[in-house]
Structure 1
């Protein structure tokens, strides 16, 4: 903005200088040339009259002295010819006397009683000169002609000096205007830059001391004051929401845990026929617990401003596959890692681990015993891809699209999921500039495709050993569904539940 304002000011000043100096220089140059040619024309007329009198008096021997005297005083060159064009006097070449010049256009025109003026190159020096050729006549008869020529060099030098003076003056004015414009531009843009920095900090989740702007235009000072009030209010709302999320996590966890324990304590005193209803009630309490933690996880995600960084996608995939393998084996499901190494990808810290945990939990709920779940990696020109492919019953195109809606669950499902897992997965992927979609897997099932921005090799910052699960967004791990082949109450290794 500073450069644009400065360029605007200097452009206006430059246009004003050009509008003033160009006409001034042109008028001066034309006036100087007109004064010079007018003086030469007057002198030529005067000398032609004197030459006519001398020729008429048959005193032609006086003509060389007349020409030499004028040339000495003015610096011009005088050539006088008789009525036939023979040179009577030439101040520039005394040896040219007697040479016939009647064929030269200006001399021929003057001998026919017509004056001639113009510019030409001097045959001897090659310099440009202005000439005025006048007839020496008396009454109706022409006795001869006179050519007076002056070099244009002195006039042109004066004109060039004036143009140079105008250019130097314009440059000085432009420099002074640049300094003034720079000071004015900084005065105007200083509060804008302060507001820009404050807005960037606010977008990153940080609220430094609000910018105190006591200079600049009044409109910008009012804008800064309004921004400060808005930022303070927004910061207060964010702090309140974060406090609610942290406090609600503790305050809601305690009564739900107590409720579940009370329900479990009823089991010895209930009729065996009511045990199924008790298990369903406990399952609903657990689902409510997971739903609350999922909502709190989404709130933390939406309020956080974590900076993405390079992550070793292959290392994370291998780690999570090894962690989930024992639990998958309990359900007679095999977890396989396939594809070529995908290399580093960009994601917020801990997001890739959380995404894989959620998608594996989702796939395990859908995978029948005796099938496999494939973690396939692939790197393209524009993305590092991870495919989590199960061999379950699959979903329709409409269901795959709606699966990312909060609290949505597939019709007819009996899963105890909260319907928040896939929204969390998408939010985690998009926080790092990526995305996630559900596609139909070959042969049935779901292919959950995670596309992340690839990281340049120079930015690789891989950590040895198991990747850190930093900033774990879902605070409560999901529980396995109460189905045959799974231990009741067993915990999924990390992540919030996903099955919609």
Structure 2
């Protein structure tokens, strides 16, 4: 931001300098040439009058000395011709005396009683010269013509010196403006950088260095004060919510446990016909307990923040599959691992610490609840490459079951809290998949449910490969909660 402010300030000043100095330099160069031309023309006319007077008195022999004296005094070359354009004298000795120059344009113009002034290139030196050719007298027959030639090198040197002075002055002004602009830009951007640091700290969970409210322009001071007030209130709200979640978790465990014990104490005193109602009441109490724990877990997840770390996807998949194999064997369901293990190599992805294990546990728990005996659950890892506008490679984890599957509308609603499939015959709470989505997004990835090719459901978790930077725009969360007992969803 400092660089942009400084560049805009310098660009404006550069345009102002160009608008002022360029026209001034052009005007100075033209005015100097015009002044020099007028002075040369007046001198030539004076010399022509003297030459005319000399010729009238028969003193034409004095013309060479007169021309040389004028040339030395004005630093010019002088050529004088007679009434028919014949050269009488030339101080530069470039044209022989007696040569007829009446055909040359400036001499011809002067013989017709009109002066000629202009610039041309000198053949002998290659430089630009100014010539002034004037008639001597105003009679019908011009008695003589005087041509004076001036080298324009000194005049151009003065003009270049003025242009150089203008450039130096412009650079000096730009340097001074740069210094002033840099100081002003820093005074403006310093509070902005402080706000940026404070925003980053707040995004990480706690504001430890609030921005100063006594620096910068008044608008930025008010913005810093408002931000500090908002951040303070937000931290207080988050702390209150965290304290509430912690206290509720502690306070609810005791009455729920006590209620279950009291219900179980009724069992010896109940008639056999009431036993079924007691079992359903105990089951609903257990479901309520799991639901409360799940809500509190989600509250803790949403209230704290950490950054994703590099995790070996294949290693975690192989480890969780080995742990869940015993549970799957009890239900006569096989767990097949594809693309993971030591032979598959290492696939490192970005994930919040502990999140990947909990994602797999929840998905396997859901799959086991719907898989009939004699079927299998497949865990497959695939490196999908860049897709969907992503700028970095993506690794996919597929958890494929052979259960009844879901319709497209059910798959779309499955990540809503407390949603359960209409034909669900288990005691799930509807919080497992919301946790999976929350943990996946916290890791910078996405999760979706798709129909498996052979029937059933394919839960796809997409995570960024560790060769790229973790997603910095998503909020990241902590997983310091107990999700080892997955909560079923469908």
Shorter-chain TM-score bucket reads: over 0.9
> Which residue is equivalent to 2:465?
454
Alignment gaps of 5+ in structure 2: 387-393, 471-476
1:387 paired to 2:398: yes
Q: Distance in 2 between matches of 1:213 and 1:2?
A: 20
> Which residue is equivalent to 1:372?
376
Q: Decide whether aligned partners of structure 1 residues 435 and 495 sit closer, same or farther in structure 2, where only a CA change above 3 A counts.
A: farther
**Within-5 A mapping of 1:34-49:** 34-49=34-49
SS in 2 for 1:234: helix
**Within-5 A mapping of 1:135-214:** 135-214=135-214
Q: Residues 204-245 of structure 1, C-alpha deviation per residue, up to 9 Å, x if partnerless? A: 112113222312111111111111111110110011111111
> Which residue is equivalent to 1:421?
432
Shift of 1:104: 1.8
Q: Distance in 2 between matches of 1:124 and 1:243?
A: 99
**Within-5 A mapping of 1:61-140:** 61-93=61-93, 96-140=96-140
Residue in structure 2 matching 1:410, options 421, 439, 458: 421
> Which residue is equivalent to 1:28?
28
Shift of 1:175: 0.7
SS in 1 for 2:374: coil
> Which residue is equivalent to 2:389?
none
SS in 2 for 1:394: coil
Residue in structure 2 matching 1:475, options 460, 482, 485: 482
Q: Distance in 1 between matches of 2:153 and 2:20?
A: 26
**Within-5 A mapping of 1:275-424:** 275-339=275-339, 341=344, 343-382=347-386, 383-424=394-435
Instruction: Check the 8 A contact 1:429/1:435 in 2, yes or no.
Output: yes
Instruction: Check the 8 A contact 1:198/1:210 in 2, yes or no.
Output: yes
Shift of 1:58: 2.9
> Which residue is equivalent to 1:496?
486
Q: CA RMSD in A?
A: 1.9
Instruction: Check the 8 A contact 2:301/2:478 in 1, yes or no.
Output: no
Shift of 1:289: 1.0
Question: TM-score, length-normalised on structure 2?
Answer: 0.93
Instruction: Check the 8 A contact 2:304/2:478 in 1, yes or no.
Output: no
Shift of 1:94: 7.1
Q: Distance in 1 between matches of 2:479 and 2:133?
A: 102
Instruction: Check the 8 A contact 2:76/2:149 in 1, yes or no.
Output: yes
Q: Distance in 2 between matches of 1:47 and 1:302?
A: 101
Q: Distance in 2 between matches of 1:457 and 1:181?
A: 38
Shift of 1:66: 1.1
**Within-5 A mapping of 1:255-270:** 255-270=255-270
> Which residue is equivalent to 2:216?
216
Shift of 1:319: 0.4
Question: TM-score, length-normalised on structure 1?
Answer: 0.91
> Which residue is equivalent to 2:390?
none
Alignment gaps of 5+ in structure 1: 460-469, 477-493
Instruction: Check the 8 A contact 2:87/2:96 in 1, yes or no.
Output: yes
Instruction: Check the 8 A contact 1:78/1:90 in 2, yes or no.
Output: yes
Q: Distance in 2 between matches of 1:122 and 1:399?
A: 95
SS in 1 for 2:130: strand
Instruction: Check the 8 A contact 1:290/1:496 in 2, yes or no.
Output: no
Q: Distance in 1 between matches of 2:359 and 2:410?
A: 20
Shift of 1:458: 11
Instruction: Check the 8 A contact 1:474/1:496 in 2, yes or no.
Output: no
SS in 2 for 1:380: strand
Q: Residues 291-336 of structure 1, C-alpha deviation per residue, up to 9 Å, x if partnerless? A: 1111112112222222112211000000000010001100111101
Q: Distance in 1 between matches of 2:213 and 2:28?
A: 51
Q: Distance in 1 between matches of 2:83 and 2:479?
A: 115
Shift of 1:471: 5.3
Instruction: Check the 8 A contact 1:332/1:370 in 2, yes or no.
Output: yes
Instruction: Check the 8 A contact 2:44/2:146 in 1, yes or no.
Output: yes
Shift of 1:202: 0.6
> Which residue is equivalent to 2:473?
none
Q: Distance in 1 between matches of 2:274 and 2:138?
A: 148
